[in-house]
């Protein structure tokens, strides 16, 4: 069987595993991971894609470039600050350090002075209350969706959640607010119409079945024209009259007003307007780790914390550590990107454009993450042929540009200035790769 001959020359698994270069990697990679690499190389050889005598070397090469974790850091050159596909908010230096410290044993639920058990995440809670003094208490859960599920489950149970038809939103990636609420067993009581809801609509719906009033900030779109809604202040009166809690889901989580984003509601503002509980995500405009934040009246937060579901959605020590450090540490990368000085962005982009033969163009960044959909963040970009985009994405460091209008655009807003040199190196390699791969047309054209 000459056809089987090469197959018989493929090294056996135990031989491959016994190589010193493979043995050495056992502290870094699991036995299972190493075995999978070995099996993949053997498979390739069986399919005739790899010569049997090259299998051992292929295994060693693959192992040497394999890390235990495969998520790759990316330079975000899109100009979109809270980029969902890139994990939303990049963490501050303080938050990164806190994450690392919390990776080992930490006093997340222990008072070291007394040796007694303490309230879990007390420090993160205090840091939240420090930036939102209008809240009496706070609870931190896994994410915004979990916070909403907990609030409606604990406050409405199988009763009704009263909400305007203009606020039945889909955020993206399978997050449909009405479906989420229905999944908890609560009943949605929709009031008003898509474009107009009045105080009377809410008043007519309130009754013995009402569990809570819910107001949701429609983060990612705007309805304009013949519209009207009822603000938190007016709902407050109605909620008090009927003795039902008023829950406000803000989504983005600005602790206080930001003049750059005049239409983006903030936690403190919603609380002072009369919300009993406000809900926000930790990794949108707050610029921290993924988390669901619930802030508000002590009695309502206590009801949420006591509910059995609270245990199922609680935040882990890493989240608590990073959140506290986000709030107590220096400016977050999200805040810095939002408020980047356009003149400085222009200087940096100009320098980059000159170094790689790109064109400097005006470019608006975006808040992203469903926030402030219509607010442009004026800045600059380096314009290159679209063919550069792929080598940039798969290069080292990986760079995600914006591909738009047949061109590759690099906006430096979300790239820390200290990374400009690495970006330049990545660009040189990507442009060189484009020249190697394609005809001169691919490299110079815009298509």
Cβ closer to ligand PLP: 148 or 305? 148
The reply on whether position 319 binds ligand PLP by CB under 6 A is: no
Minimum gap (Å) between residue 373 Cβ and ligand PLP: 11
DSSP state letter for 207: S
The reply on whether position 171 binds ligand PLP by CB under 6 A is: yes
**Dihedral sign of CA atoms 12, 16, 18, 23 in order:** negative
Minimum gap (Å) between residue 147 Cβ and ligand PLP: 7
The reply on whether position 144 binds ligand PLP by CB under 6 A is: yes
Strand 377-385, strand 137-141: pairing:
unpaired
Which of 216, 345, 399, 433 contacts ligand PLP by CB under 6 A?
216
Which of 249, 266, 276, 324 contacts ligand PLP by CB under 6 A?
249
Minimum gap (Å) between residue 88 Cβ and ligand PLP: 8
Q: Looking at 173-231, list the stretches that DSSP marks H as alpha helix, in order from N- to C-terminal side.
A: 177-183, 199-205
The reply on whether position 253 binds ligand PLP by CB under 6 A is: no
Which of 219, 268, 319, 326 contacts ligand PLP by CB under 6 A?
219
Cβ closer to ligand PLP: 143 or 197? 143
Cβ closer to ligand PLP: 261 or 384? 261
CA 427 – CA 383 distance, rounded (Å):
12
# of chain residues touching ligand PLP (CB under 6 A): 14
Strand, helix or coil for residue 296: strand
- Which two structure tokens, joined as six digits, stand for 61? 């090469």
Minimum gap (Å) between residue 253 Cβ and ligand PLP: 9
The reply on whether position 288 binds ligand PLP by CB under 6 A is: no
- Which two structure tokens, joined as six digits, stand for 366? 């975006």
Q: Which stretch binds ligand PLP (CB under 6 A): 102-110, 132-140, 213-221, 399-407?
A: 213-221
Which of 217, 314, 363, 366 contacts ligand PLP by CB under 6 A?
217
Strand 377-385, strand 359-368: pairing:
antiparallel
The reply on whether position 372 binds ligand PLP by CB under 6 A is: no
How is the beta sheet containing 407-411 ordered, strand by strand? 74-77, 398-404, 407-411, 377-385, 359-368, 80-82
Contact 87, 369 (CB under 8 A): no
Contact 81, 372 (CB under 8 A): no
| DSSP class per residue in 10-32 | SPPHHHHHHSHHHHGGGGTS-HH
Give the H/E segment covering residue 215: strand 210-216
Closest CA to 383 of 439, 445, 338: 445
Q: Which whole-number Å values give the CA distances from 274 to 197, 203, 208, 271, in the listed order? A: 19, 17, 22, 5
The reply on whether position 29 binds ligand PLP by CB under 6 A is: no
Q: Which stretch binds ligand PLP (CB under 6 A): 109-117, 212-220, 377-385, 402-410?
A: 212-220
CA 215 – CA 271 distance, rounded (Å):
13
Minimum gap (Å) between residue 290 Cβ and ligand PLP: 6
The reply on whether position 326 binds ligand PLP by CB under 6 A is: no
The reply on whether position 268 binds ligand PLP by CB under 6 A is: no
- Which two structure tokens, joined as six digits, stand for 83? 């980029």
Which of 152, 210, 281, 434 contacts ligand PLP by CB under 6 A?
281
The reply on whether position 229 binds ligand PLP by CB under 6 A is: no
The reply on whether position 261 binds ligand PLP by CB under 6 A is: no
Q: Which stretch binds ligand PLP (CB under 6 A): 7-15, 140-148, 155-163, 334-342?
A: 140-148
CA 344 – CA 380 distance, rounded (Å):
10
Residue carrying structure tokens 């898509």: 194
Which of 166, 211, 251, 358 contacts ligand PLP by CB under 6 A?
251
Strand, helix or coil for residue 399: strand
Minimum gap (Å) between residue 217 Cβ and ligand PLP: 5
The reply on whether position 74 binds ligand PLP by CB under 6 A is: no
Tell me, residue by residue from 289 to 308, as one string, x for binding to ligand PLP by CB under 6 A and - for no binding.
---x----------------
User: Where on the chain is the footprint of ligand PLP (CB under 6 A)?
Assistant: 143-145, 148, 171, 175, 216-217, 219, 249, 251, 281, 292, 370
């Amino acid at each position: 069987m000459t056809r089987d001959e090469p197959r018989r020359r493929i090294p056996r698994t135990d031989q491959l595993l016994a190589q010193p270069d493979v043995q050495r990697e056992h502290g870094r990679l699991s036995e299972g991971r190493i075995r999978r690499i070995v099996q993949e190389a053997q498979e390739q050889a069986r399919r005739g894609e790899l010569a049997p005598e090259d299998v051992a070397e292929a295994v060693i090469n693959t192992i040497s470039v394999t890390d235990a974790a495969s998520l790759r850091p990316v330079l975000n050159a899109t100009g979109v600050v809270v980029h969902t596909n890139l994990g939303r908010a990049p963490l501050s230096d303080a938050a990164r350090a806190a994450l690392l410290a919390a990776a080992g044993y930490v006093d997340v639920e222990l008072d070291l002075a007394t040796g007694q058990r303490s309230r879990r995440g007390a420090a993160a809670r205090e840091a939240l209350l420090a930036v939102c003094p209008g809240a009496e208490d706070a609870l931190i859960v896994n994410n915004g969706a979990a916070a909403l599920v907990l609030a409606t489950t604990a406050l409405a149970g199988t009763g009704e959640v009263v909400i305007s038809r203009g606020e039945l939103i889909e955020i993206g990636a399978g997050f449909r607010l009405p479906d989420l609420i229905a999944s908890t067993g609560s009943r949605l009581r929709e009031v008003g119409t898509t474009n107009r809801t009045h105080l009377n609509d809410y008043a007519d719906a309130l009754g013995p079945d009402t569990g809570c009033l819910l107001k949701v900030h429609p983060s990612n779109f705007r309805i304009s024209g013949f519209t009207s809604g009822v603000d938190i202040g007016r709902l407050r009166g109605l909620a008090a009259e009927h003795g039902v809690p008023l829950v406000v889901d803000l989504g983005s989580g600005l602790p206080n007003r930001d003049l750059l984003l005049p239409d983006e509601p903030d936690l403190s503002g919603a609380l002072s307007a009369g919300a009993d509980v406000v809900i926000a995500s930790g990794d949108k405009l707050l610029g921290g780790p993924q988390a669901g934040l619930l802030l508000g009246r002590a009695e309502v937060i206590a009801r949420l914390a006591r509910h059995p579901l609270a245990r199922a959605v609680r935040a882990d020590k890493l989240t608590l550590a990073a959140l506290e450090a986000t709030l107590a540490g220096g400016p977050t990368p999200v805040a810095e990107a939002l408020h980047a000085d356009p003149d400085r962005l222009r200087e940096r982009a100009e320098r980059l454009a000159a170094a790689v033969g790109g064109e400097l163009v005006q470019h608006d960044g975006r808040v992203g993450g469903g926030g402030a959909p219509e607010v442009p963040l004026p800045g600059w970009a380096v314009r290159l042929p679209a063919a550069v985009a792929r080598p940039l994405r798969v290069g080292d460091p990986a760079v995600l540009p914006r591909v738009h209008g047949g061109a590759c655009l690099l906006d430096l807003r979300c790239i820390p200035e200290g990374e400009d040199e690495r970006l330049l190196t990545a660009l040189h390699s990507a442009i060189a790769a484009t020249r190697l791969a394609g005809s001169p047309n691919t490299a110079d054209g815009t298509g």
